[in-house]
Amino acid sequence: MRKNRLFQIGIIISVLLMVSFWAYGQDFQGQEVRWLFHGSHFESGFKPWSEKWAAEHNAKVITTVVPFEDLYQKLMTELVGGGGDYDIIQYMYPWGGTVAGGGYLLPLSSYIDVNSDWWKDITPVNQKAGMWNGEIYGLTHDGDTHMFYFRKDIFENEEEKANFKAQFGHDLRPPVTWDEYLDAANFFTRKKGDKLAGEVLTQDFYGAAELLGRPNVYWWFLTRFSNFSVPYFDLETMEPKINGPEGVRCLENMISCLPFMPPGVLNFGWAEGNAAFMNGQAAMIVIWTDTGKRANAPELSKIVGKVGYGLVPGWLVDGKLKQRTFLSGGGWILGVLKDAKHKEAAISLIKYLTGPEVSLVNVTDYNTAMDPYRYSHIKSEKFRNLFPQAGEFLDAIEKNFESGWPELALPGGSEYMDVLGLYVHRALNGELKPQDALNAVAEEWKKITKKYGLEEQKRIFQEFMTPYLPKE
């Protein structure tokens, strides 16, 4: 009798355990999933959810967090060395040609139903960010895109509008071209004690702020260059086109804007750019979409309720306005290494973190700085009610997604961009003239292309770039 009762109890416990793991997901039997990512504003979004996943799946998650500026080198050391220390890596979109194209990542297409609502909910540009040669290798967890922010309260001030028109001969409006951006930056730059929108300034005020420090100053060059829809290289010869008249015009515009930006702007990164705008020191900024929510958090911002949103400025070309948004989605991606020790567990974790429920919490959290990448984020009532202007903000994000221009994602993509950042920075510092700086970039790009093989780079570039080019 006692044995029968013990047997029955054992059956009941087994059933309960089976139901528990059926309800919460697969049992990974204590497997340790190890991953590598850069911390700062991502760790607060990853850590609690990865711990929750681990508890529900009978697993462990071991994280290695490194500073952003060290991540690429740490990642490449791991990949090239074949150390096998990690199951999951975090990588940037332009590194895809190296990490996916280099054969380091596990193809995920057989694990993802591309006809499912789960996949279709991801915006196309963010789907493509994790793909290489038509195969899924990674899942976007941070839908980086640049967008334009401006101080709506001062742009709409009647006295400022009248003074602007008297000085520049045209109406003040949120700039739709980089020339208008330059005029507005000039106009709104004021000294402490001057008046701005009827109030006496207690600190110096600047027309614009940008993130012009190395290594990523190239992003603010390319956010201008992308508007021309000029490919990085000639599709037939792979001759660089970065040093053409369009590139020179963009770099000259950047240099002209410098006097109307805060001191030290040539060393600005994400934190400094956000601080300048959200502390009420600048009238305009082009930066990622997380700034839109953070600028409306009273504990983080001095300009709550005063921010306007729009498309990144463009250029007038032959009398026609051309606006394209650089960095349009897929900034940070999670991939599983081909040699991962616990592939199934790693895939389960990245799908969990990038799924609609968890990701919505992260993209609406002021502290994570993660950006929307799913339609359900853009349409979410929770997000649209996060602050009074949230609907306007999300609509602007969607428009920027639709006008996108990609960062270069060839094998060696990081090398191409590092060279561009170096010489753009030297031009901004006054060391080189714009044309000379971009000529130097072109020469270095030729060497990188040769290093990876001209014909293979051309094949990859044609496939990569063609969908983004204007249709004849």
333-380 residue pLDDT tens? 999 999 999 999 999 999 999 999 999 999 999 888 889 999 999 999
> 122, 140 in Cβ contact below 8 A?
yes
Which pLDDT tens digit goes with each residue over 403-426?
A: 778 888 899 998 999 999 999 999
Average pLDDT (73-81) is 88
Tell me where in the chain the CATH 3.40.190.10 domain(s) lie: 23-143+329-386, 146-326+396-472
- Average per-residue pLDDT in the chain? 91
Average pLDDT (24-37) is 87
Q: How confident is the model at residue 135, as a pLDDT?
A: 94
Average pLDDT (68-79) is 88
**Gyration radius from the chain CA atoms:** 24
Write the DSSP symbol of residue 374.
B
Which pLDDT tens digit goes with each residue over 252-305?
A: 999 999 999 999 999 999 899 999 999 999 999 999 999 999 999 999 999 999
pLDDT category at 83 given cuts 50, 70, 90 is low
Q: How confident is the model at residue 57, as a pLDDT?
A: 96
CA distance 114 to 253: 43
> 71, 37 in Cβ contact below 8 A?
yes
Which pLDDT tens digit goes with each residue over 181-237?
A: 999 999 999 999 999 999 999 999 999 999 999 988 999 999 999 999 999 999 999
For 23-143+329-386, give the CATH class: alpha beta
Question: Global pTM?
Answer: 0.90
Q: How confident is the model at residue 260, as a pLDDT?
A: 98
Does the domain at 146-326+396-472 match CATH 3.40.190.10? Answer given as yes
Q: How confident is the model at residue 368, as a pLDDT?
A: 84
Token code pair at residue 207: 């027309």
> 435, 393 in Cβ contact below 8 A?
no
> 60, 87 in Cβ contact below 8 A?
no
Query: CB count, 10 Å around CB of 87?
Result: 26
The HSE-up count of residue 307 (CA atoms within 13 Å, CB side) is 34
**Which position has the token pair 């960062």?**
407
Q: How confident is the model at residue 472, as a pLDDT?
A: 56
The DSSP-derived string for 190-245 is B-TTSEETTEE-SS-BBS-B----SSTTHHHHHHHHGGGT--SB-TTT--B-TTSH
Average pLDDT (383-394) is 95
- Does pLDDT of 20 surpass 80? no
Q: How confident is the model at residue 387, as a pLDDT?
A: 94
pLDDT category at 13 given cuts 50, 70, 90 is very low
The HSE-up count of residue 293 (CA atoms within 13 Å, CB side) is 22
What does DSSP say about strands 332-336 and 138-142: parallel, antiparallel, or unpaired? Answer: antiparallel
End-to-end CA distance of the chain: 84
